[in-house]
Amino acid sequence: MFHPRFGCVSASLLLALASFAVPSPASAEDVIRFGAPLPITGPLAPEAAAQQMGYNLWAEEANKAGGINVGGKKYKVEIVYGDYQSNTPRSVQITEQMITQDNVNFMFGPFGSGAAKAASTISEKYKVPTIAASASSSQVYDQNYKYLFGTFTPNDTLTTPLTGIIKAKAPDVKKVAILARNDLFPLAIAQEMEKSAKANGFEVVYFEKYAINTLDHSATLSQIKSLAPQWIFVTGYINDLLLIRKQMTDQQMKAPVVTMIAGPAYQTFIETAGQSAENISSASWWHPAEQYDGKDIFGKTSNFVKLFKAKYNSDPDYAQASAAASGALFQMAIEKAGSLDRDKVRDALASLDVMTFWGPVKFGSNGQINSLEPPVFQIQNAKPVVLYPDAIKQGEFKLGVN
């Protein structure tokens, strides 16, 4: 009678042990490996695709030039991708796997503030310099980690100029309604918006969060409509914003100002929303119209845009640019440090104070960049038109969203 159980026990032990037998890949000689965990499948897949485009463009350009110069010797760039299926715990697991088993030298953070925050603990534990290409919420950087850097400035750098412009150009706007997705970045930026609105004398008549994966917003939108705000501010990711915009149209909601973050910067949003995207305002961390002259591998912003267009046949948006910028920043730091030693590269990143195609780059003591001046823009005639800062202004603010 002992046999079945013994068999069962040995079978399970064997299989469990089998999962440990993982062959470790032979590390190639003149290659620097960058780990890039991304939500290649799952609801955040469109965002992952954007990041991949940016990373790949940079890797290609770097390798075209022979590779990264490490103290006189050129090393090729290799990016190791992993799919964490838009599931945060998996992103943490993949990050650890990449560090311990795939022998990556440096890491790119996973997409978004939530996953970036979760995975940053791993890279901090293993002391691997990580650049988060898409994490803006200050909550990501409040753990006093030394090895985490981010290319997005804090959320209030978006909401402050936005509020300023609306106050100046649309003086009849008094009431604001805010609807936020209950998720790290969308909620954090909505909270910043509330602060900014109140500080500028607007009345916040509505502030609510909607659950992730909500399909029907009709009751919420009806309620917002009945409050008749002049400014409707909605946060979420591309899919949420498209859905909400459609349901707004269904309910025939009109307002002088409608702001959505973070979707309107993407070509997909403009194409899918069609006419209903007209006059929607937004803010982001970068715009192809910027005119920076950088010391990185891309140099001028216009050069980056040109190379991107040549490879992908479309204008780059800020997410794609940020990914490429993260790569370019690693390159600059490695070349400055002259070595692949993680601590040296980390110190080089922390001491960077340089102009790039992405903008002036200087990281604050918490690792988050604090030198950018994020543009505010509005969709006019199916194109994102920059309204601020003045240096690259392309047009004037237009009132009225139908």
Partner 1 sequence: MTRANFALLILIVIVASLPLFGGAYALRVGTLACMYAIFALSWNVVGGFAGYPSFATAASFGLGAYVTGILLNNGVPLPAALAGTFIALFLGAVALGAVLLRLRGHYFAIASLSLVEVFRELINNATDLTGGGMGLNIPLASSSGILADAMFFFYAMWGLLVLTALVVIVVSVSKLGFGLSCIRQNETAANMVGLNTTLYKSIAFGLSACFVGTAGGLYAAWVHYIDPSDVFDILYSVKPIVMALMGGLGSPLGVVCGAFLYLGLEEVVWRNYIQIHSGVLGVLIIVLLLFLPHGLISLRWAMVWRKVKHA
Partner 2 sequence: MLAVQVLINALVLGCLYACIAIGFSLVWGVLNVINLIHGSFIVLGAYLAWGAYQWAHISPWYALLFAAPLFFGFGYLLQRLLLNRVISAPVLVTLTLTFGLDLILNNAMIYYFKADYRKLTLSPPTGSISLFDVVVPVDRLIATASALALTGLLYLLLRRSKVGRAIVAVRLDRDAAVLMGVDVKSIYAVAFGLGAALAGCAGVLMALIFPISPLTSSAYLGKAFVVCVLGGLGSVSGALAGGLLLALVEGIGSVYLGPAHATTLSFVLLIVFLVARPQGLLGRKGFE
Single residue of 46, 164, 256, 299 touching partner 2 by CB under 8 A = 46
309 binds, among partner 1, partner 2, none (CB under 5 to 8 A by kind): none
Single residue of 75, 106, 111, 210 touching partner 2 by CB under 8 A = 210
118 binds, among partner 1, partner 2, none (CB under 5 to 8 A by kind): partner 1
41 lies in the binding site for partner 2 (CB under 8 A): yes
395 lies in the binding site for partner 1 (CB under 8 A): no
Number of other CB atoms surrounding residue 239 within 10 Å: 18
CA distance 32 to 103: 10
Q: Which is nearer to partner 1, 137 or 230 (CB)?
A: 137
58 lies in the binding site for partner 2 (CB under 8 A): no
391 lies in the binding site for partner 1 (CB under 8 A): no
172 lies in the binding site for partner 1 (CB under 8 A): no
Per-residue CA distances from 40 to 87, 110, 221, 367 (Å):
11, 11, 32, 26
Single residue of 1, 22, 26, 219 touching partner 2 by CB under 8 A = 219
Single residue of 25, 42, 66, 395 touching partner 2 by CB under 8 A = 42
Residue 274: phi and psi, rounded to 5, are 60, -130
5 lies in the binding site for partner 1 (CB under 8 A): yes
Q: Which is nearer to partner 2, 239 or 368 (CB)?
A: 239
Q: Which is nearer to partner 1, 93 or 394 (CB)?
A: 93
User: Min. distance of Cβ 225 from partner 1 in angstroms?
Assistant: 23
402 lies in the binding site for partner 1 (CB under 8 A): no
17 lies in the binding site for partner 1 (CB under 8 A): yes
Q: Which is nearer to partner 2, 210 or 377 (CB)?
A: 210
User: Min. distance of Cβ 19 from partner 2 in angstroms?
Assistant: 21
310 binds, among partner 2, partner 1, none (CB under 5 to 8 A by kind): none
217 lies in the binding site for partner 2 (CB under 8 A): yes
Single residue of 113, 239, 282, 378 touching partner 2 by CB under 8 A = 239
66 binds, among partner 2, partner 1, none (CB under 5 to 8 A by kind): none
Q: Which two tokens stand for residue 129?
A: 């310099």
Laid out side by side, the sheet with 68-70 consists of: 68-70, 73-83, 31-38, 106-108, 130-132, 148-150
47 lies in the binding site for partner 1 (CB under 8 A): no
Binding site for partner 1 (CB under 8 A): 1-9, 11-13, 15-20, 22, 41, 83, 85, 87-89, 92-93, 96-97, 100-101, 114, 117-118, 121, 124-126, 137, 139, 142-143, 181-184, 186-188, 209, 211-212
Binding site for partner 2 (CB under 8 A): 41-43, 45-46, 86, 179, 182, 208-211, 213-220, 222-223, 225-226, 239, 242-243, 246-247, 249-252, 272
